[in-house]
A and B are shown apart, each in its own frame.
Chain A
Amino acid sequence: MSRMLSPKKRRGLAFAALSASVLLLSGCGSQIAVLHPEGPVARQEYNLIIWSFILMAFVGLAVFILFAYMLIKYRARPGVEKYYDPNLEGNRKLEVVWTVIPLLIVIALAIPTVKTTYALTQPPVQAHDPMEIDVTSAAWKWIFQYPGQHIETVNYLVIPTGVPVKFILTSVGPMNTFWIPELGGMEFTMPGANLGLWLEASKSGVYLGRGANFSGKGFAHMQFNVYAKPQAEFNQWVAQVKAQDPPLTMAQANQLVNHHGLSPILTFSSYPAGAVPQNQNTLMSGM
């Protein structure tokens, strides 16, 4: 008997574990970056994650309950004969039900999906003038150029809070993706292409970013810190860089692009034209 019940028990266990992990996600555990959005882009994505999870949990629950019910009720046991109907082969009404309900769920999910997909191509906050940062992934380092400030950092990023930042992404090596989970989802860096990605930090803090698409030997180490500071502090930092740090020479720039290896954190008060090879391709829309 216990053996016959056990598939259900196991399923219950699996489901409990799943729900527990989800509770963990939504509440505590600040290390679960995706569920701790710190900017408007990540927040919109988070809302969709939760909405899709609720819809799916509803479906899953229905399936698991029905499944467990069938296993218990119709297991081979004395007395099952009175229900037994070997020729039962379908029920049009039921089949329509379980086609239409999933269709409605898909519609309920598709509408916000499409809306958000379009929304994320726009700056998250219209009120503030956006700034631009050009991101280049090389083997195996991140090069950040701030065209408005004309400074460059390697393997760390500084952004002002409350300002929509348009990241222009490209690569001078294998493809990668640029991901700062607390600020928003990732997008590819590809050689020969420029992709745009809007992100914004709502409050100051240090966020972890990384490359998420395998790019070879040094891939696992392509992790970087993102320092979000209020605009005034950001300006102060820029001024400090301008005053204290060396300019990037063309020789150093080539070394960064062409040498396959890791790099320490670097800061440059300016960079020469062509420090990163320019793409002929126009900007692709990105998202």
Chain B
Amino acid sequence: MLPHYFNHLFVTGTDIYIADVLIILTSLGIVGVLTYFKKWKWLWREWLTTVDHKKIGIMYIIAATAMFFRGGMDGLMMRTQLAVPNNHFLGAEHYDQVFTTHGTIMILFMAMPYLIGLINVAMPLQIGARDVAFPYLNAISFWTFFFGAMLFNLSFVIGGSPDAGWTSYAPLAGPTFDPGPGENYYLFGLNLAGIGTLASGINFLVTIIKMRAPGMKLMDMPMFTWSTLITSILIIFAFPVLTVALSLLTFDRLFGSHIFSMTHGGMPMMWVNLFWIWGHPEVYIVILPAFGILSEVISTFSGKKLFGYSAMVGSMVAIAFLSFTVWVHHFFTMGAGPAVNSFFGVSTMLIAIPTGVKVFNWIFTMYRGKIRFTTAMLWALAFIPTFVVGGMTGVMLAVAPADYQYHNSYFLIAHFHYTLIGGTVFGVFAGLYYWWPKMFGFKLNERLGRWNFWTFIISFNVTFLPMFLLGLMGMTRRMYTYPPGLGWSHLNMIETVGAFGQAIGMMFLAVNIVWSIKYGERDVTGDAWDGRALEWSTTSPAPEYNFAHVPVVYGRDAFWDMKYGKNREKYQVKAKPYRPIHMPNNSGRPFLMSLAFFISFWGFVFKWYLVGGLGLAAVFVFMYLRSFEYDTDHYISVEEIEHTEAAAGRL
């Protein structure tokens, strides 16, 4: 029997009780610390109400890190259950919830916010801007993402987690087969976070188009900024599809419509199409910024210009375009016919060409360089072979008839972990180590960084390499258990060992952060790595206004050019007097409005329409107030700028 969730709001089970206790203890701890050190006002004024892109970026990264640990715990629970055949660590229903939250969290609440966080931190600095185009909207983006993620996570202890997979295929995710509130959490959590993502896409696009420093042409932009531009366009085209799909499934579940149902003319296959029309561009949304990070890091630590700049841009544009033409490869086996399968198979293979161009260009960026093996560089270097394995198996999966044998098997699971961890996560870690001094003014420790790197990367391969083999042996994804005697047992045990190894690797990162806060090498120059783009030309961390004078740019790699290049003299202009800097005001409304969204959507999850309606009304009140707000900005005085610059040793 399926459990009737409505009868018990609070989920029961030993691990849930442990989670309950931990959540209560953590919350009490945070409240206690904030109260004891009288930090409530600080928290509100410096963080919760901020519209500063750098602080918003840091909050994204903190939230994404927390989600990484949550999603990682899910992964460990899955691997523990699968370590031996016929295991009883988790039951089927519990396992189904755990793999659903693992996938959803890792893609939507870990990978994307990590990258959006790094974009927030670095992109405006790279183009010499003082903030993003719409700082207030940026805060709304963050808080809707944050409360969307919190709503999704709340399901674990209140009401029960979704359990139809992160792909949430109808009719399994429909009201007939999944009556509890878990799926509603999925729908509302993702839709709330989706508002933020879409707004981020628009915000970054406008920022890059309108706010580049004078002289910086599009083809002068750092590659990370280019990747952000293209990602933003992907977000703007792809996310509305997800919003519509989620809303339609919400109608089915809440109001009894029959859009994706089995009966009354519903079409479950339509969900699959809509989901992947968003879903495939989504995987490029989480890989292109990582490509951008890689370009920055490899070029910096090779001490060289990026090889084939225009080909790098062109191949990203090609990948972005092709990413909308391949979605059917996620369900070749749905019988759309040989013509359709041929088209989508070949279009998928074509993506390998621009991707290959990028890989070769990265490798040749090192050609005749001076390679420094910092931790950031190690992550970037590890990206290349790992992602190549992911990419090559991706081409194998694109062979439609062969995909009939790989589909939904562990071969596929191995493939996308090689791309998403080897690509996105390694890229994020490279970016984290690289921009850490820019965010916080000190470096992470290199020795602990290498421990972090080596334990993680070795364990990663131990976990995921055997999965290719398991897939060919017939093991499919989302099986909560398997019988002995199929030859799967040893490989599964090896994978579990690897998974715990990755957890240890992550512990080194946590230790590194704590250690470096206290003892890490301070970056007093602002140019921690002998960098190339403008973010390294200001202090670490950058002042609220980023640049006292907006820089004028004469070409690519502006800061490198400033230091060593042929335009060195042009950059040596006499310092002009400071002028007051126009900045946006902080506001608590994005936080409060997103909180109202959270309460409203939580009401809808349980079909408590009164709560839902009142919450939405509050959202509209906040929008109304914003519309009639006139005091939205302020000037930073010349004295204050002088004071800040003097403190940073720049006067």
Asked if B307 and A88 make an inter-chain contact with CB atoms under 8 angstroms apart, the answer reads: yes
Stretch at the interface among A59-67, A158-166, A234-242, A245-253: A59-67
Asked whether A109 lies within 8 Å of B399 as measured between CB atoms, the reply is yes
Out of B177, B368, B405, B473, which one reaches A83, CB within 8 Å?
Answer: B368
Q: Which parts of A145-196 form the interface with B (CB within 8 Å)?
A: 173-175, 177, 179, 181, 184-188, 190-193, 195-196
Is residue B407 contacting chain A, with contact meaning CB distance below 8 A?
Answer: yes
Task: Assess the A217–B465 pair: CB atoms within 8 A.
Answer: no
From A24, A46, A81, B469 is in contact (CB under 8 Å) with A24
Contact yes or no, A74 B370, CB < 8 A: yes
The residues of B that contact A80 with a CB separation of less than 8 Å are 370
Taking the closest CB of chain A, its distance from the CB of B214, in whole angstroms, is 23
Q: How many residues belonging to B are interface residues under a CB distance threshold of 8 Å?
A: 102
Q: Residues of B contacting A3 with CB < 8 Å?
A: 373, 450
B352 touches A106 (CB 8 A): yes
Q: A84 and B369: CB pair below 8 A?
A: yes
Cα distance A188–B334 when bound, in Å?
A: 5
Known: A14-B465, A18-B389, A63-B359. Is A106-B2 also a contact (CB below 8 A)?
A: no
Range, interface on chain A: 35 or more
B478 on the A face (CB < 8 A) = yes
B353 lies within 8 A of A25 (CB): no
Out of B169, B356, B357, B405, which one reaches A59, CB within 8 Å? Answer: B356
Query: Is B497 close to A, CB under 8 A?
Result: no
Contact of A87 among B305, B310, B349, B389 (CB under 8 A): B305
Q: How far is the CB of B185 from chain A (nearest CB, A)?
A: 18
CB distance from B264 to the nearest CB of A (A): 10
On chain A, the residues within 8 Å of B378 by CB distance are 7
| Least CB separation from B303: chain A residue | A86
Instruction: List which B354-405 residues lie within 8 A (CB) of chain A.
Output: 356-357, 359-361, 363-364, 366-373, 378, 381-382, 384-385, 388-389, 392-393, 395-396, 398-405
* B371 in complex: contacting residue of A74, A81, A88, CB < 8 Å: A74
State which residues 529-572 of B face A: CB under 8 Å.
564
Select which of A49, A191, A208, A220 is within 8 A of B481 by beta carbon: A220
Q: Are A181 and B368 in contact (CB under 8 A)?
A: no
**How many Å lie between the Cα of A217 and that of B304 in the bound state?**
55
Q: Which residues of B contact A52 (CB under 8 A)?
A: 395-396, 399, 402
A53–B457 CA distance with the chains assembled, in angstroms: 24
Q: Are B405 and A45 in contact (CB under 8 A)?
A: yes
- Give the Cβ gap from B117 to chain A, nearest Cβ, in Å: 27
Which one of A31, A60, A120, A193 lies within 8 Å of B486 (CB-CB)? Answer: A31
| Alpha-carbon distance between A17 and B418 when the two chains are bound, in angstroms | 15
Contacting A287 at CB < 8 Å: which of B172, B335, B364, B466?
Answer: B335
Contact A214 B335 (CB under 8 A): no
Nearest-Cβ distance from residue A225 to partner chain B, whole angstroms: 12
Residues of B within 8 A of A223 (CB): 483
* B356 pairs with A102, CB closer than 8 A: yes
Cβ of B203 < 8 Å from any Cβ of A? Answer: no
- Chain B positions within 8 Å of A215 at CB level: 172
Using A34-B473, A49-B402, A185-B333 as known contacts, list a sample of 16 further A-B pairs with CB atoms less than 8 Å apart, ordered by residue number in A. Answer: A7-B382, A14-B389, A56-B396, A63-B360, A64-B388, A70-B364, A90-B310, A175-B171, A177-B333, A216-B96, A219-B92, A285-B337, A285-B338, A287-B333, A287-B338, A287-B401
